[in-house]
Amino acid sequence: MPDKPAQIIVRCEDLQQRVFIYRCLVNNGIHPRTIQIRHNPGGDAKRFVLVQYPIQVKALRRTPHISKAVISMIDADDRTVEERKREHDKALEESGQEWRVDSDKIAILVPRRNIETWVHHLLGMAVNEHDEYPRFRGEERKCAPAAEDFSRRCPHGMRETDLPSLHDGCAELQRALA
């Protein structure tokens, strides 16, 4: 297996996504000191992620001699995973950059409908990708078992019954960690 990136830059919408992706990375053998993670400090969370994305991609591409990865995490809400990924492409284009290519260690994780959908699914609840599920406000760490389960299953233990956006998230995560 190739070496893990020396630095992983994560931008996400909220504390729940932050806790989930941090646990996933640590459970994938990423040392906590190599993870630089920020979530929206307030205001429009999606805008925060989409503004940060081209900034972090530019920094990644500016230092190809350093093993880095960028992970952007954004809820699909009432959109599709592909629509959210196209928004990321557009953000790059508007900043004068090329869209991501296969060789870029860039992952775009898009839980559909939101991160709570993934968490509740991984905790064993029957869910779909259209309804909203309860948040863990003030108890975000309760998602730790779900993140650990995702880490164990991704990439070789994913189930056919797993949510399509979870399968996509696994493929995206592998892209950044490969």
Which stretches of the chain are assigned E, i.e. beta strand? 7-12, 35-39, 68-73, 106-109
Confidence label for 5 from pLDDT (cuts 50, 70 and 90):
confident
Tell whether the model's pLDDT for residue 65 goes beyond 60. Answer: yes
Residue 15: per-residue pLDDT: 96
Tell whether the model's pLDDT for residue 16 goes beyond 50. Answer: yes
> What type of residue sits at position 131?
D
The answer to whether the predicted template modeling score (pTM) of the entire model surpasses 0.75 is yes
Residues in the chain: 178
Confidence label for 50 from pLDDT (cuts 50, 70 and 90):
very high
Confidence label for 2 from pLDDT (cuts 50, 70 and 90):
low
Residue 143: per-residue pLDDT: 94
Q: State the Cα–Cα distance between residues 114 and 30, nearest whole angstrom.
A: 24
Q: State the Cα–Cα distance between residues 75 and 112, nearest whole angstrom.
A: 6
Digit-coded pLDDT (tens) for 86-144:
999 999 999 999 999 999 999 999 999 999 999 999 999 999 999 999 999 999 999 99
Q: Mean pLDDT, to the nearest integer, of 153-163?
A: 96
Residue 6 or 85, more confident:
85
Contact indicator for 91, 50 with CB cutoff of 8 Å? yes
